[in-house]
Amino acid sequence: MISTDSDRVLIFDTTLRDGEQSPGATMTHEEKLEIAQLLDEMGVDIIEAGFPIASEGDFAAVSEIAKQAQNATICGLARANFKDIDRCWEAVKHARSPRIHTFIGTSPLHRAIPNLNKEQMEERIHETVTHARNLCDNVQWSPMDATRTEWDYLKRVVEIAIKAGASTINIPDTVGYTAPVESADLIRRLIAEVPGTEDVIFATHCHNDLGMATANSLAAVAGGARQVECTINGLGERAGNTALEEIVMALKVRHDIMPWSTGVDTTKIMNISRRVATVSGFSVQYNKAIVGKNAFAHESGIHQDGMLKNAETFEIMRPSDVGLSETNIVMGKHSGRAALRSKLKNLGFDLADNQLNDVFVRFKALADRKKEVFDDDLIALMRDTEVEHSNERIQVRFLRVICGTEAPQSADLTLTIDGEDKQVTATGDGPVDATFNAVKKLFPHDAHLQLYQINAVTEGTDAQATVHVRLEQDGRIATGQASDTDTVVASAKAYVTALNRLLVRLGKTAPDADVKAVSYKDAG
């Protein structure tokens, strides 16, 4: 049992549950297993693997993660009813260390939704926590929207949950409303005033709507919380959750004034951050603390000069502390297989020989088009390789565009759809619009484009462009990203990736399209 005197803070990662709830961040089964394994290996204490009753897919992922985890406690989320809790237990029970996390909204606004009065809600909390506890020794309970719940009522419900057997009480700031002073005070007063808290761990779960999630979580720790709930890259609904990397690094770098530690191996941060960005389709903003592309970049002359003389002049942590290789050794068309393998290993990609062969061919093709291949180019190349190997239903096979000052711009596109090549020419307002129109002609769909964004991976006119696309249909959202030195090709691939993901979510089959099928065998 961790007491408030302990200097150990448990890290509870909810990337696969709260993070995945972000519109468009849905991950595949295999991606969830991979992220869970990385979390387990990096020393996260508790992994909230999903919401088992939400779907068959969630249930399967939580069960599989529970079976696979070697170190972490595996937790599933359940609403305050027996059906949810039973389903959650069925999924997590395979774990070496299982946990059921059940919650109910306790603020006046949330109480109104199930239309329960205070007494009925108290009864529900007592029954559901008792039920969960009969199934599992390790039960976490959360009063959702705790920070907008009346103080006396919050104390009352926390006491009921503790008496019913919850061993972790999580205090969510569901809408990111609290501020650091209040966050510390709330936990401190709950621990002091609610009977029975000495045997319970208090957790803090903050959302970032006002940009204070990390500050609020650390303040809660100062107030006595010994579990911080967070996500990689701060992924999560709206403005996201507390970022795991920020908590772990803040506690490490400012141990002098925040004398608490975690069990996380910080050198694994960059790798998992990149993986989560890739599989969720949510890229990390350049100036994001700890994991942003610019977090360790020094641009101005004064800074660069200072860095060369003594890195500590402008760096409070070393890039290697978070697993960033300090030298960005540039690769080029003369680089060999061994150099590529070692470079990729440094970037967190440990490849078998057959995988390396394939990646090497792609690397050479890129190096032919681009003088210098940087770390970010290789990361983009690895991400695209994975997408192409994932047996997507629709794949970009060929694209040629005509663009320039004279309209109409047009795109000649061939897609492989369910194994068959189909070709069409479409026009549009510019080459990207023409390309997207061509995709729509080949695979008619009603999705609408919510986001189209281009970023240069590195610098120079030969730089690769990474394109992000977000599509929406019937309230379902899917994102795709792809990189290429040709921006229009990257756009086509990103669009098709998003479309593939959307189709999985909508459970769609190929519609009939009035286009001709082409055979590359015939073309020679």
Question: Which residues of the shown chain bind ligand KIV in the complex (CB under 6 A)?
Answer: 18, 103, 142, 144, 170, 172, 174, 205, 207
**Which parts of 15-74 interact with Zn ion (CB under 5 A)?**
18
With respect to Zn ion, which residue has the nearer C-beta, 18 or 64? 18
Supply the minimum distance, in Å, between the C-beta of residue 141 and Zn ion: 14
Tell me which amino acid residue 160 is: I
Q: Strands, E, within 324-393: which ranges?
A: none
144 binds, among Zn ion, ligand KIV, none (CB under 5 to 8 A by kind): ligand KIV
Segment near Zn ion (CB under 5 A), from 11-19, 292-300, 385-393, 434-442?
11-19
Segment near Zn ion (CB under 5 A), from 13-21, 178-186, 342-350, 372-380?
13-21
The alpha carbon dihedral of 249, 374, 355, 33 has a sign of: positive
Supply the minimum distance, in Å, between the C-beta of residue 79 and ligand KIV: 9
Q: DSSP secondary structure string, 267-293?
A: GGHHHHHHHHHHHH--PPPTT-TTTST
With respect to ligand KIV, which residue has the nearer C-beta, 208 or 487? 208
Tell me the C-alpha distance between 176 and 205, whole Å.
9
Phi, psi of 219 (to 5 degrees): -65, -40
With respect to Zn ion, which residue has the nearer C-beta, 146 or 471? 146
For 255, other C-beta atoms within 10 Å of its C-beta total 12
The residue at minimum Cβ distance from Zn ion is 18
SS3 413: strand
With respect to Zn ion, which residue has the nearer C-beta, 18 or 377? 18
Supply the minimum distance, in Å, between the C-beta of residue 80 and Zn ion: 16
For residue 15, the 8-state DSSP code is I
Supply the minimum distance, in Å, between the C-beta of residue 454 and ligand KIV: 33
User: Does 84 sit near Zn ion (CB under 5 A)?
Assistant: no
22 binds, among ligand KIV, Zn ion, none (CB under 5 to 8 A by kind): none
Tell me the C-alpha distance between 298 and 490, whole Å.
29
Q: DSSP secondary structure string, 107-175?
A: SHHHHTTTT--HHHHHHHHHHHHHHHHHH-S-EEEEEETGGGS-HHHHHHHHHHHHHHT-SEEEEEETT
Tell me the C-alpha distance between 77 and 113, whole Å.
19
CB 360 within 8 A of CB 378: no
With respect to ligand KIV, which residue has the nearer C-beta, 150 or 429? 150
- CA angle 152–156–162, rounded 5-degree value: 145
Supply the minimum distance, in Å, between the C-beta of residue 149 and ligand KIV: 11
Supply the minimum distance, in Å, between the C-beta of residue 142 and ligand KIV: 4
479 binds, among Zn ion, ligand KIV, none (CB under 5 to 8 A by kind): none
142 binds, among ligand KIV, Zn ion, none (CB under 5 to 8 A by kind): ligand KIV
- Cis upstream peptide for 408 (omega within 30°): yes
With respect to ligand KIV, which residue has the nearer C-beta, 178 or 410? 178
Structure tokens at 494: 């990103």
Tell me the C-alpha distance between 313 and 311, whole Å.
5
CA 52 distance to own-chain centroid:
18
Count of residues of this chain found to bind Zn ion when the rule CB under 5 A is applied: 1
**Cα Rg of the chain, angstroms:** 25
Tell me which amino acid residue 348 is: G
CB 14 within 8 A of CB 48: yes
59 binds, among Zn ion, ligand KIV, none (CB under 5 to 8 A by kind): none
Supply the minimum distance, in Å, between the C-beta of residue 360 and ligand KIV: 44
Strands 98-105 and 73-79: parallel
With respect to Zn ion, which residue has the nearer C-beta, 18 or 122? 18
With respect to Zn ion, which residue has the nearer C-beta, 101 or 468? 101
Supply the minimum distance, in Å, between the C-beta of residue 245 and Zn ion: 18
With respect to ligand KIV, which residue has the nearer C-beta, 205 or 468? 205
Supply the minimum distance, in Å, between the C-beta of residue 46 and ligand KIV: 13
383 binds, among ligand KIV, Zn ion, none (CB under 5 to 8 A by kind): none
With respect to ligand KIV, which residue has the nearer C-beta, 282 or 443? 282
The residue at minimum Cβ distance from ligand KIV is 172
With respect to ligand KIV, which residue has the nearer C-beta, 170 or 271? 170
**Which parts of 205-244 interact with Zn ion (CB under 5 A)?**
none
Supply the minimum distance, in Å, between the C-beta of residue 48 and ligand KIV: 9
Residue 355: Cβ-neighbour burial (10 angstroms; 0-12, 13-18, 19+): middle
321 binds, among Zn ion, ligand KIV, none (CB under 5 to 8 A by kind): none
Tell me the C-alpha distance between 228 and 174, whole Å.
14
User: Residues 192-211 vs Zn ion: string with x where CB under 5 A?
Assistant: --------------------
8: β partners: 261
Supply the minimum distance, in Å, between the C-beta of residue 174 and Zn ion: 6
Q: Is 511 left (phi over 0), alpha (psi -120 to 50) or beta?
A: beta
Supply the minimum distance, in Å, between the C-beta of residue 235 and ligand KIV: 13
416 binds, among Zn ion, ligand KIV, none (CB under 5 to 8 A by kind): none
Task: Identify the residue whose tokens are 């010994």.
Answer: 226
Q: Which residues contact 34 (CB under 8 A, 6 or more apart)?
A: 275, 279
473: β partners: 476
Tell me the C-alpha distance between 429 and 435, whole Å.
10
With respect to Zn ion, which residue has the nearer C-beta, 176 or 480? 176
Q: Which residues bind Zn ion (CB under 5 A)?
A: 18
